[in-house]
């Protein structure tokens, strides 16, 4: 690594001539979506400036080029809080973000002084604030004005006003204003209009009609002809008639698109969804020859897993969320367009499912490995030690991801039946049935009445007492959960005063983002689950969350702090805990969630393969408080397969109490019908009347929790995960384990797990002895708050190996490779075979002697520094085969070698995911050969990091080990 001096001066010299060129330097941070909107413009004499409007918050940022090939940080080893008015010398190194703490919105000038190339410095100053006191009333002159009050967590009130110049207009114009301190700088009001070609609500409640129109307008704002991401195409625009992800996210990501489409967008614009779905498919790039172990068609057409933890797939395996959007799109596309898309969808689904079965399926549990769907910021929802050992995250099994794969299997089976492929249909039907059974066997926690969000990784494997609302809701709406489980989940998942958090319990020491947050799209799935389970209390909470969030923020936000409902909870005592750390307006899946709430839940319209289902879920509270002024509410101009539909709900008198209104009868164009209509039953113009009757009690179970959002209370948080300080075996065979508290104080007890099974409970920190230890066992510990019962993540597991294991370094004479090893250096204390992993590279270890038969785990000791742990497409993915003395393969499969941290001082090596092997005593040969990762796909040819210019599936090898576990 070098200091910035000459290189910085050269880069900025280029930037002076071309401020928007690839060589330019940008201020990139949470306040601008980490994009390239804010270039440091040359001002002469080596001075560069960018003036940026910044909202309140503790904002992470860096100086970087458009392709992140170059970064400039204050300290490459730790984050720095930059104080306005102070000059900081920079280094050209990758490193942690710098933070700027802002109390009130304002414009900040970032000044880079490179007049002395040896000492480039950054200074930030706040510019004088503009006077808004005399701003005109945005509602002036409007014929209809209504005011809505929303209580806040701290006993205050936020006021939202809505107005329209003509309430009788076919397409209304609206202005909406809010007293809420908005997340981003700008006016305290927004104007929008109802969109031609989209449905509109007429309910007698201007606020409800307006918020639905707001969601439609934001959907149209996200409907683009070009997308952009700094990690692709050099940051230049990419043509795509599709949906961008939000105001701060100008690209298309598989999971964001898919959940948004499933929630509502596919019904309203199926062609645009299809375009975006096509964009998220790819085959092999030119020059790639797939190995024989990859079960796919010759073109390799498959779903793209976006960049992410450890270098993307298969650390992350939720790319099959694509199926959610595909299924809804297939239901809404015109017939002539459906057939070719169905054929392509089956090919892509089949290839992806078959490959993931090889790369990410654990036959021992029947579950698929990979991180939680959408909860992909490992520091937020995993143990604190996990970012340094991403192989353990890769081998964990997540509820949400497994339900996603279950749903994909069902769709693939259906498409196979349609296309007369009986073998595939039977295969995927069987796999889906087996996966449903495995989810219920392995992840259902009877003592909690909910599904575990995830298991621990290899060498542990226990289901954790961690929970997430998306996983629970998907289990319900997909049919994985039965009626009893559905009722239990809805009644027992916690809700704060503003709604349900996306994870439970919260994690100490992490800022707000996935942790301590409400995400509206997850709430929308929770609403679907509540309606399916007829739980009016949970549904009412979801309705309130979605409407409040869109109302006070003037937009469908990315996320909100869960106890306060704030778009930013500013923590001046501990600025690093402020958040959400990033938050975008008109987030695509939030928009989809709101549209789906109105169309699918209030009016009850959902599309099926050959028609629509009509099942509104209007609670007594919603009828009383939102539609109290009307006897009927209407949704006009809903379009499906070229036909127009008006849906009218005729409401009974408002009633006290709780529950939901039963559907008494349904009329289609004046004729009574059932709740399921065939498309052929519809005319060009249709009026559906749904008559609601008396209140049915339904289910009312809901768990409420409340705490001060600034306090790390045991009511809402889990303890920190403990550590195993020591693990030894004495002469009698007993194992002595020393539990380290890991920063926990009183009110905490500890549980010990042996080989994934709990063997001790309610222990204090300190020594514990296992007198029933096996010949070879692995241990983990979790902490539990005595008062709330909230539980931590597990400690990093440690194992007792009775034969001390087999550990072989790369200089051992038994190791052979086409590359030679190199000596240790300042970074690594061990010799290594550097940059190994090109398709034709070979690595083998011969003559590994196993003295005692048993269950073993084979791992490669390695380091992968191709990209940061949270970025890239260059996670190592290889094929490992173990052969006995007769040359017979006794174990084989995919192993993962994800990105690992690179420290300024000595960098520790890490171990790959394991290959499980049941071995007899004898001699064995280990062979490692190529598999593939996402960099082998054509769609990633323009990726700006490792794996873009050419496939990157390389790492440094330090050795291998065989660890006996049983």
Give the model confidence (pLDDT) of 229-245 as tens digits.
Answer: 989 998 899 999 999 99
Q: Which residues pair with 673 in a beta bridge?
A: 666
User: What's the per-residue H, E or C state across 204-254?
Assistant: CCHHHHHHHHHHHHHHHHCEEEEECCCCEHHHCCEEEEEECCECCECCCCH
Mean pLDDT of the chain: 94
Distance CA 515, CA 376 (A): 11
Q: Give the N- to C-terminal CA distance of the chain in Å, as an integer.
A: 44
Q: What per-residue confidence (pLDDT) applies to 20?
A: 40
Q: How confident is the model at residue 14 (pLDDT cuts 50, 70, 90)?
A: very low
Whether 864 and 896 have beta carbons less than 8 Å apart is answered as no
Residue 22 pLDDT exceeds 50: no
Q: To which residue do tokens 């239990």 refer?
A: 488
Per-residue pLDDT tens digits for 66-87: 888 888 889 888 889 999 999 9
Of the candidates 252, 321, 250, 315, the one whose C-alpha atom is nearest the C-alpha of residue 939 is: 252
Residue 664 pLDDT exceeds 50: yes
Q: How confident is the model at residue 909 (pLDDT cuts 50, 70, 90)?
A: confident
Q: What per-residue confidence (pLDDT) applies to 185?
A: 86
Whether 201 and 598 have beta carbons less than 8 Å apart is answered as yes
Dihedral pair phi/psi, residue 738, rounded to 5°: -110, 115
What average pLDDT does range 258-266 have in this prediction?
98
Residue 384 pLDDT exceeds 90: yes
Q: 541 vs 229, 369, 502, 545, 740, CA distance in Å? A: 36, 33, 14, 6, 40
**Which of the 8 DSSP states describes residue 601?**
I
205's tokens: 């409640």
Which 3 state secondary structure label does DSSP give 538?
Answer: helix
Torsion of CA 242, 245, 249, 251, to 10 degrees: -40
Residue 786 pLDDT exceeds 80: yes
What average pLDDT does range 364-371 have in this prediction?
97
What average pLDDT does range 856-870 have in this prediction?
95
Residue 966 pLDDT exceeds 90: no
Which of 13-27, 79-93, 101-115, 475-489 is the least confident region? 13-27
Distance CA 756, CA 746 (A): 26
Q: Report which of residues 102 and 634 the model is more confident about.
A: 634
Residue 835 pLDDT exceeds 90: yes
What average pLDDT does range 203-224 have in this prediction?
98
For Cα atoms 897, 903, 906, give the angle at the middle one, nearest 5 degrees.
95
The length of the chain is 966
Q: What per-residue confidence (pLDDT) applies to 620?
A: 98
- Please state whether 394 falls in left (phi above 0), alpha (psi between -120 and 50) or beta: alpha
Distance CA 806, CA 913 (A): 16
Residue 203: partners with Cβ closer than 8 Å, 6 or more residues away: 209, 626, 627, 630, 633, 634
Of the candidates 207, 321, 222, the one whose C-alpha atom is nearest the C-alpha of residue 265 is: 222
853's tokens: 């038969």
Describe the crossing of helices 520-532 and 469-478 by its angle, rounded to 10 degrees: 40
Which 3 state secondary structure label does DSSP give 87?
Answer: strand
Q: Does a cis peptide bond (omega within 30 degrees of 0) precede residue 505?
A: yes
Q: What per-residue confidence (pLDDT) applies to 841?
A: 98
What average pLDDT does range 500-523 have in this prediction?
97
Q: What per-residue confidence (pLDDT) applies to 300?
A: 98
Whether 585 and 557 have beta carbons less than 8 Å apart is answered as yes
Residue 314: partners with Cβ closer than 8 Å, 6 or more residues away: 305, 356, 359, 360, 369, 370, 394, 875, 877, 894, 896
Distance CA 194, CA 276 (A): 24
- Please state whether 147 falls in left (phi above 0), alpha (psi between -120 and 50) or beta: beta
Distance CA 534, CA 528 (A): 10
Describe the crossing of helices 536-553 and 206-221 by its angle, rounded to 10 degrees: 70
Q: What per-residue confidence (pLDDT) applies to 308?
A: 83
What average pLDDT does range 279-308 have in this prediction?
96
* Alpha helices by DSSP H, 899-959: none
Distance CA 521, CA 498 (A): 15
Residue 504: partners with Cβ closer than 8 Å, 6 or more residues away: 466, 467, 468, 469, 493, 494
Q: What per-residue confidence (pLDDT) applies to 131?
A: 65
Which of 55-69, 183-197, 549-563 is the least confident region? 55-69
Per-residue pLDDT tens digits for 401-410: 999 999 999 9
Dihedral pair phi/psi, residue 317, rounded to 5°: -130, 25
What average pLDDT does range 8-25 have in this prediction?
48
Distance CA 517, CA 496 (A): 10
Q: How confident is the model at residue 907 (pLDDT cuts 50, 70, 90)?
A: confident
Q: What per-residue confidence (pLDDT) applies to 32?
A: 87
Which 3 state secondary structure label does DSSP give 654?
Answer: coil
Which of 30-39, 215-224, 524-533, 721-730 is the least confident region? 30-39
Distance CA 825, CA 861 (A): 17
Whether 840 and 855 have beta carbons less than 8 Å apart is answered as no
**Which helix H or strand E contains 486, and what residues bound it?**
helix 483-492
Q: What per-residue confidence (pLDDT) applies to 95?
A: 81
677's tokens: 């209509």
**Which helix H or strand E contains 541, and what residues bound it?**
helix 536-553
What average pLDDT does range 399-428 have in this prediction?
98
**Which helix H or strand E contains 955, and what residues bound it?**
strand 955-964
Q: Which of 101-110, 819-828, 936-945 has the highest mean pLDDT?
A: 936-945
What average pLDDT does range 614-642 have in this prediction?
97
Between strands 717-718 and 506-507, the pairing is parallel
Per-residue pLDDT tens digits for 667-726: 999 999 999 999 999 999 999 999 999 999 999 999 999 999 999 999 999 999 999 999
Residue 870: partners with Cβ closer than 8 Å, 6 or more residues away: 308, 309, 377, 378
Whether 908 and 829 have beta carbons less than 8 Å apart is answered as no
- pLDDT more than 70, % of the chain: 97
Dihedral pair phi/psi, residue 841, rounded to 5°: -65, 150
Q: What per-residue confidence (pLDDT) applies to 91?
A: 87
Torsion of CA 394, 397, 403, 405, to 10 degrees: 40
Q: What per-residue confidence (pLDDT) applies to 17?
A: 36
């Amino acid at each position: 690594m070098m200091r910035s001096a000459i290189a910085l001066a050269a880069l900025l010299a280029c930037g002076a001539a071309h401020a928007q060129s690839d060589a330019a330097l940008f201020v990139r941070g949470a306040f601008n979506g980490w994009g390239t909107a804010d270039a440091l413009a040359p001002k002469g004499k080596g001075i560069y400036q960018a003036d940026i409007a910044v909202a309140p918050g503790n904002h992470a940022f860096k100086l970087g080029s458009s392709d992140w090939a170059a970064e400039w940080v204050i300290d490459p080893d730790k984050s720095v809080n930059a104080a306005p008015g102070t000059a900081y010398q920079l280094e050209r190194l990758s490193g942690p973000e710098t933070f700027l703490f802002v109390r009130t919105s304002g414009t900040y000038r970032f000044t880079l002084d490179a007049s002395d190339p040896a000492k480039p410095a950054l200074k930030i100053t706040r510019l004088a604030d503009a006077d808004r006191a005399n701003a005109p009333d945005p509602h002036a002159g409007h014929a209809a004005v209504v005011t809505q009050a929303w209580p806040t967590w701290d006993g205050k009130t936020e006021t939202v006003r809505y107005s329209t110049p003509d309430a009788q207009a076919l397409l209304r114009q609206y202005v909406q204003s809010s007293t809420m301190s908005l997340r981003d700088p700008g006016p305290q009001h927004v104007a929008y209009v109802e969109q031609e070609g989209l449905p509109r609500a007429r309910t007698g409640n201007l606020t409800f009609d307006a918020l639905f129109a707001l969601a439609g307008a934001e959907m149209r704002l996200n409907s683009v002809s070009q997308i952009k991401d700094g990690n692709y195409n050099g940051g230049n625009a990419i043509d795509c008639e599709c949906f961008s992800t939000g105001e701060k996210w100008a690209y298309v990501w598989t999971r964001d698109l898919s959940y948004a489409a499933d929630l509502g967008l596919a019904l309203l614009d199926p062609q645009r969804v299809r375009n975006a779905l096509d964009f998220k498919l790819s085959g092999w790039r030119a020059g790639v020859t797939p190995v024989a172990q990859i079960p796919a068609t010759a073109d390799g057409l498959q779903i793209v897993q976006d960049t992410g933890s450890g270098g993307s797939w298969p650390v992350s395996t939720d790319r099959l969320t694509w199926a959610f959007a595909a299924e809804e799109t297939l239901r809404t596309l015109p017939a002539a367009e459906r057939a070719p898309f169905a054929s392509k969808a089956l090919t892509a689904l089949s290839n992806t499912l078959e490959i993931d079965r090889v790369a990410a399926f654990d036959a021992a549990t029947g579950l698929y490995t990979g991180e939680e769907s959408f909860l992909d910021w490992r520091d937020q929802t995993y143990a604190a030690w996990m970012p340094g050992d991403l192989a353990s995250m890769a081998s964990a099994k997540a509820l949400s991801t497994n339900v996603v794969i279950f749903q994909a299997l069902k769709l693939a089976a259906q498409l196979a039946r349609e296309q007369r492929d009986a073998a595939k249909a039977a295969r995927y039907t069987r796999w889906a049935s087996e996966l449903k059974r495995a989810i219920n066997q392995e992840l259902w926690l009877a003592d909690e009445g909910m599904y575990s969000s995830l298991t621990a990784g290899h060498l542990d494997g226990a289901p954790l007492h961690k929970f997430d609302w998306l996983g629970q809701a998907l289990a319900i709406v997909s049919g994985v959960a039965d009626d009893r489980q559905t009722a239990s989940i809805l009644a027992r998942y916690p809700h704060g005063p503003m709604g349900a958090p996306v994870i439970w319990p919260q994690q100490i020491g992490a800022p707000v983002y996935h942790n301590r947050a409400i995400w509206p799209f997850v709430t929308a799935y929770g609403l679907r689950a509540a309606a399916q389970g007829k739980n009016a209390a949970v549904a009412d909470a979801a309705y309130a969350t979605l409407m409040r969030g869109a109302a006070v923020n003037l937009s469908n936000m990315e996320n909100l702090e869960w106890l306060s409902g704030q778009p930013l909870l500013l923590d001046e005592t501990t600025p690093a805990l402020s958040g959400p750390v990033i938050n975008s307006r008109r987030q695509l899946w939030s928009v989809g969630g709101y549209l789906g709430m109105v169309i699918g839940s209030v009016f009850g319209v959902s599309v099926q393969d050959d028609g629509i289902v009509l099942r509104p879920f209007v609670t007594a509270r919603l009828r009383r408080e939102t539609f109290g002024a009307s006897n009927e509410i209407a949704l006009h101009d809903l379009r499906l397969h070229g036909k127009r539909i008006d849906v009218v709900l005729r409401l009974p008198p408002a009633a006290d109490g709780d529950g939901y209104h039963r559907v008494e009868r349904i009329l289609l164009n004046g004729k009574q019908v059932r709740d399921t209509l065939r498309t052929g039953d519809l005319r060009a113009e249709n009026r559906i009347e749904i008559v609601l009757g008396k209140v049915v009690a339904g289910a009312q179970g809901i768990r409420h929790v409340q705490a001060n959002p600034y306090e790390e209370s045991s009511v809402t948080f889990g303890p920190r995960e403990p550590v195993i300080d020591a693990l030894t075996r004495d002469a009698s065979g007993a194992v002595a384990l020393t539990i380290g508290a890991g920063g926990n104080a009183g009110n905490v007890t500890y549980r010990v797990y042996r080989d994934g099974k709990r063997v001790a409970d309610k222990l204090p920190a300190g020594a514990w002895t296992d007198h029933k230890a096996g010949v070879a066992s692995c241990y983990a510990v979790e902490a539990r708050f005595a008062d709330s019962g909230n539980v931590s993540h597990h400690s990093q597991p440690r194992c007792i190996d009775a034969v001390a294991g087999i550990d072989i370094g790369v200089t051992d004479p038994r190791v052979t490779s086409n590359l030679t090893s190199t000596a240790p250096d300042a970074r690594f204390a061990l010799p290594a075979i550097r940059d190994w992993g090109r398709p034709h590279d070979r690595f083998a270890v011969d003559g590994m002697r196993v003295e005692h038969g048993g269950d073993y785990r084979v791992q490669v000791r390695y380091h992968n520094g191709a990209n940061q742990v949270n970025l890239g497409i260059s996670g190592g993915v290889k094929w490992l085969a173990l052969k006995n003395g007769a040359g017979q393969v006794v174990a084989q499969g995919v192993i993962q070698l994800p990105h690992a941290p690179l420290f300024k001082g000595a960098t520790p090596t890490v171990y790959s995911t394991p290959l499980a092997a049941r071995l007899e005593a004898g001699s064995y040969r280990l062979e490692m050969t190529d598999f593939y990762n996402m960099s082998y796909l054509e769609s990633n040819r323009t990726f700006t990091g490792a794996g873009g210019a050419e496939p990157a599936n390389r790492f440094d090898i330090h050795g291998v080990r065989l660890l006996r576990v049983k």
